[in-house]
Amino acid sequence: MSTIQLNGAARPLLTGTTLSALVTEVTGRELLPTGQPIDGGRLGVAVARNSGIVPRSQWSRTLLEIHDEIEIVTAVQGG
């Protein structure tokens, strides 16, 4: 089965899935092609693919590939 690694865990990969679709699936927020949430709020999330940051403006144009290592990070409590 085709999989990707998402935040360290294996996840099935459906052909043609964009990074934008994955972020929506994980966060529950619909996104504009710019990567901004449709609800007008701020997403507060960054994505790295195979150790390189993918700017939100490129999420909708980025197709996931088999064995991709994706990290989705956000702000948590910290000094």
Partner 1 sequence: MTQTLTDNDALLIDGVALGSRLIMGTGGAPSLEGLEAALVASGTELTTVAMRRYAVHGEGNTAGANLFDLLVQNRIRVLPNTAGCFTAREALMTAELGREALETDWVKLEVIADEHTLLPDAVELVEATESLVNRGFKVFAYTNDDPVLALRLEQLGAAVVMPLGAPIGTGLGILNPHNIELIVSRASVPIILDAGIGTASDAALAMELGCDGVLLASAVTRAQDPVRMATAFRHAVIGGRLAAQAGRIPMRTHALASSAMEGRADF
Closest to partner 1 by CB, 12 or 79: 79
Closest to partner 1 by CB, 31 or 47: 47
Contact residues: partner 1, CB under 8 A = 6-9, 26-28, 41-48, 51, 53, 55-56, 71-79
Calpha distance 34→55 (Å, rounded): 10
CB of 25 to partner 1, least distance (A): 8
Evaluate whether 13 touches 4 at the Cβ level (below 8 Å): yes
Closest to partner 1 by CB, 16 or 78: 78
Evaluate whether 24 touches 40 at the Cβ level (below 8 Å): no
For the CA atoms of 51, 54, 55, 59, what is the dihedral angle to 10 degrees?
Answer: -150
CB of 78 to partner 1, least distance (A): 3
